[in-house]
Structure formats: C-alpha cells, structure tokens
Chains A and B, each alone.
Chain A
Amino acid sequence: MQTIDMATTPLRELNAALQAQAQQTNQTQWVIENPRGAHAVAVGLDAPIEVTVKGSTGYYLGGMNKQASVHVTGSTGPGVAENMMSGTVVIEGDASQYAGATGHGGLLVIKGNASSRCGISMKGIDIVVHGNVGHMSAFMAQSGNLVVCGDAGDALGDSLYEARLFVRGSVKSLGADCIEKEMRPEHLEILRDLLARAGADAKPEEFKRYGSARKLYNFHVDHAGAY
C-alpha cells in the first residue's frame, strides 16, 4: 500500500504519481492523507487502482476518472467526479454542487446528501445518492441513471433527455418536460442492481421513476409555454 500525505506532498506530485500507474500496476492500493479540502485530488486517473482519501476535499475530486475506484471518507466540494468515464467514486459524506456533471460512465455513490445540480448533463454515468439531492438535479441529463434514496429539490430533471431518474422520497417539483413514468420490470432490475452496487439499504419497489415527456425535442408551437 502506498501512502501519500498531502501535508508534505504537493498536489501535482500526488496526481502525477497516481496518473503514472500502468494498466498492470502492482501498486493497486493508495491512501491519501490530509486533503484538508484541497482541489482536484485524484483527477485524470486511468488505471484499475484503489484510492482512499482520508478526509474532505474541495472542487473536482476524481474528475475525468477512468477505471479507478476512489473512496472519500469525508465530504467533497463542487464538481466531484465531473466527466467520469468509468470506475467508481464513493463519498461517505456529502457532495456539493454539480456532482457527477457530464459523466459518461462509471458509478458515483454519495452516502450523504448531494447539493444542487447533481448529475447535470449526465451522459451515461450512474449516480446513487443515499440522502437527498438539491434543486435542478439532472438538468439536461442525457443518459444514465440517477437514484435518489431521499428527497429531490425543485425542478428535478428540467429539460431532460433520456436519463432515468429514480426517487424514493418526495420531489419538490419537476422541471420542464420531466414527468413521472411507469416502473416496469426492467427498471426494477436496473434499480436493484444499482442499489446493491451502491450498498444502499432500499427496495426498488419503494421508488418512483421520472423521465422525459419528449415534448421539447423539437419545437412545437403548442408546447411553447413549456420552454
């Protein structure tokens, strides 16, 4: 196991060491100590390594992640796992604004609450939030799954494309073109798998599914009021 202490190692050196790991590295276990809210910790990783960050981080933890499993014991700042391609990012605490934004793949698990704009413009990433999400979550989400075990804030799924949204608790309001949809067996199956992988203690049957009404795909004068 490799341990890097951010109290003594500069951020660039830390990220360079993690980014230098090859596909078949023997150094698969990394521990990062004393992040103390630092930005851009463990970004741009592209190897099947496991990174544990002990503490809380600032902006963009795990951004652009590919293959790696990043585990944060504290909370994270804005833009966690932004543009993730594959791999896993797990946060024990809370996440700030726009968690998982524009993610193309992989799994982001937030065991606390996520703030506003969680999953904004998501493009294939799966996000499971054990707690609540803030306003404008999944805004313009295009593909992937957002699972919220708690409640969702205002304007959930505004201007949504094809992403699936599952919420167990209340939804303060739905955004433009976002509607509740029927929960079919295939959705329960997707949800069961995601909840299991995220370690969430919830049953798929407790959730409601939301998705796009697809009225805003092309301009139609009858829908002008919804734009």
Chain B
Amino acid sequence: MCGIVGLFLKKDDLRPQLGDMLTDMLITMTDRGPDSAGIAIYGDEAGPLKMTVQSDAPAVDFAGLDVALAGILEAPVTMKVIDTHAVLSLPEGGEAAARSFLDARGIRIMGAGTSMEIFKEIGLPKDVAARFGIRGMGGSHGIGHTRMATESAVTTMGAHPFSTSADQCLVHNGSLSNHNQMRRRLTEKGFAPKTQNDTEVAACYISSRLAEGVNLGEALEGTLEDLDGFFTFVVGTRNGFGVVRDPIACKPAVMAETEDYVAFGSEYRAFAKLPGIDAARVWEPEPATVYFWER
C-alpha cells in the first residue's frame, strides 16, 4: 500500500506550522505502511549548502565530524545533530569532497540542498516525527511517506523520500516493473542509484532529466513514457511540487487546493485537520496527467 502526503504552501502565514501539519497528515496514513517513515522539508530560508546525513552509531560517527570535515574542506562547517541524523552546513563548492569523505567513513547521505532537509528511519510516522522534532519545523513545502516494503529491504536507506540531486526528493506509492533495466541505463548516464529500491530509480530518473535541462513538469511527463509499473509519485524541488500517476492509476490519490495551500494525500482523511479543508477544492488527479506548482 504505502501512504504518501505532500503540502505546498502558497502563502507565508502557515509556514511555521508546516511541520506540524505534515506530521498530522502522515500519522493519519500510518496504517497504509508500518515499515518506515520519512519527511523531506523545505525550510524557511535558502542558505548555504546543507547535507543531511545518518548513522546507526551517531555518538561515535558524529563526534568531531564537523571539525574533521572543516579540515578537509579548509572552511568552517557547522553541524546540528538530531537523533540519528545530522544536518551539516558546508561551504560553497564543498559538496563533492564532502560526499567522498562521508562515503569513506560509512556515513549515509540522505539528501543535500540549500533548502531541503530529509529525515527518515525505520518505524512508525509518529515515532519518526517525534525523534526528529518534525512538528517544530517550519518551511514552504514538504512531502512525507509511510512505507509498506515490497521491492527492497526494510532499512533506513530503503525508506522514502529519496533524494538523488540537490533539493530534489520523491515519494512513491506502487511498484515499478522495469527498475532493473532503468537502473542500468541511469548508471550509464551517471545517475547510479545506491540501493536496490525501485523508488530510488524513479528519483534518479527525475534528477537525470532535470540535469538535461527539462522543467519539473516535463520530467514528470517522462516517467509516463519511461517507467513501467504502478505509481503515484509526489516530488519536491527547491521551488516546486509535482504529482503524477501512471495511466492505470490503481494507487489512490486525492488532492486539495485552497488559497493557502495545495495538499496531496493517499486518502482524503489525511486532510481532515487542515485549515479550511471544508471549503477546499478536492479532486482526484487524473491518470497519466502531470500536476505541478512552482513559486
């Protein structure tokens, strides 16, 4: 099954409540998937490059990590540790060196960007959200996922959202049938997935298309041609939010729009607590149709 949610704010008033609203939406979807949960949140300000990393032994792995990294990059690095995750702020142009340093130390990179932070772990949405203090986070938009694992192992790396390029992330309900073939093609193009998860292939696909210069809408159109299987994808970029369903559209999806926000949920009940939902325009996204918003 899997449960997915997304929220894109059109106005600034609700920004401080973004994490709180997304958490409520995701907890409501818990019974669609108990294996792992995650949220990508686009923070209030776009600043220096941030990298969200994870370790199963944070006390050991994160001790002195900022100092060691600053030494490698020859510039100041700040680190905010939150449970098993840490958000590193890096100097401009330091991403590639930081990645190879972190990879060598066996520290997992969840995502990177100037605006986006990703928190994901094995467990139920309420526990994951509490561990990372998602309710207290503000921002402009975000997506979340509660997973029922079908195609790959229940691990932190197998949890959604998947981020394969700066400030991009994707959550998926469904399963892809040509992900092995696509994995080979994407690897040849330099967008190699790190896990055996089918969803990461979709995230890499979007990254590869955006890198080619198409816009988010065109990248989502491409999934209808190039990816085979069942899917509802919800994607985030630094300033955008998009939704697409496969042509059969078996996987459930509901959207709601008011003057203040656009919301996505696997089921309507995810919206029940949103402000003004009774007066919102609520609709089901059409199969093989791309919806996206950019600010």
Chain A CB within 10 Å — which of B267, B272, B284, B287 has the most?
B284
User: When the two chains form the complex, which single residue of A58, A115, A134, A135 contacts B268, counting CB atoms closer than 8 Å?
Assistant: A58
Residues of A within 8 A of B271 (CB): 37
Known: A78-B252, A96-B252, A97-B252. Contact between A37 and B267, CB under 8 A? Answer: yes
Segment 264-278 of B: residues with Cβ below 8 Å from A: 267-272
Known: A75-B282, A78-B252. Contact between A116 and B267, CB under 8 A? Answer: no
Decide if A58 touches B269 in the complex (CB within 8 Å): yes
Residues of A within 8 A of B252 (CB): 77-78, 96-97
Known: A77-B252, A78-B252. Contact between A58 and B284, CB under 8 A? Answer: no
25 A-B pairs within 8 Å (CB atoms) are namely A36-B269, A36-B272, A37-B267, A37-B271, A37-B272, A38-B269, A56-B282, A58-B267, A58-B268, A58-B269, A75-B268, A75-B282, A77-B252, A77-B267, A77-B268, A78-B252, A93-B282, A94-B282, A94-B283, A94-B284, A97-B252, A116-B249, A116-B287, A135-B249, A135-B287
Question: How big is chain A's contact interface, by range?
Answer: 10 to 19
Please report the C-alpha to C-alpha distance between residue A115 and residue B272 in the assembled complex, in whole angstroms. Answer: 21
Residues of A within 8 A of B283 (CB): 94
Segment 90-110 of A: residues with Cβ below 8 Å from B: 93-94, 96-97
B residues sitting closer than 8 Å to A (CB atoms) are 249-250, 252, 254, 267-272, 282-284, 286-287
A-B contact count (CB 8 A): 40
**A57 smallest CB distance to B (angstroms):** 8
Please report the C-alpha to C-alpha distance between residue A59 and residue B269 in the assembled complex, in whole angstroms. Answer: 10
A residues sitting closer than 8 Å to B (CB atoms) are 36-38, 56-59, 75, 77-78, 93-94, 96-97, 115-116, 134-135
Which residue of chain B has its CB nearest to the CB of A37?
A: B269
Residues of B within 8 A of A93 (CB): 282
**B21 smallest CB distance to A (angstroms):** 15
| Given A37-B271, A94-B284, 18 extra CB contacts under 8 A | A36-B272, A38-B269, A56-B282, A57-B268, A58-B267, A58-B268, A77-B267, A77-B268, A78-B252, A94-B282, A94-B283, A96-B252, A96-B254, A97-B250, A97-B284, A116-B287, A134-B286, A135-B249
Decide if A96 touches B269 in the complex (CB within 8 Å): no
Residues of B within 8 A of A94 (CB): 282-284
Please report the C-alpha to C-alpha distance between residue A168 and residue B230 in the assembled complex, in whole angstroms. Answer: 32
Residues of A within 8 A of B272 (CB): 36-37
Decide if B284 touches A115 in the complex (CB within 8 Å): yes
Closest 3 A-B residue pairs measured CB to CB?
A37-B269, A36-B272, A37-B268
Residues of B within 8 A of A97 (CB): 249-250, 252, 284
Residues of B within 8 A of A58 (CB): 267-269
Residues of B within 8 A of A37 (CB): 267-272
Please report the C-alpha to C-alpha distance between residue A56 and residue B256 in the assembled complex, in whole angstroms. Answer: 13
Please report the C-alpha to C-alpha distance between residue A93 and residue B268 in the assembled complex, in whole angstroms. Answer: 13
Residues of B within 8 A of A116 (CB): 249, 287
Please report the C-alpha to C-alpha distance between residue A75 and residue B272 in the assembled complex, in whole angstroms. Answer: 13
**A130 smallest CB distance to B (angstroms):** 16
**A95 smallest CB distance to B (angstroms):** 9
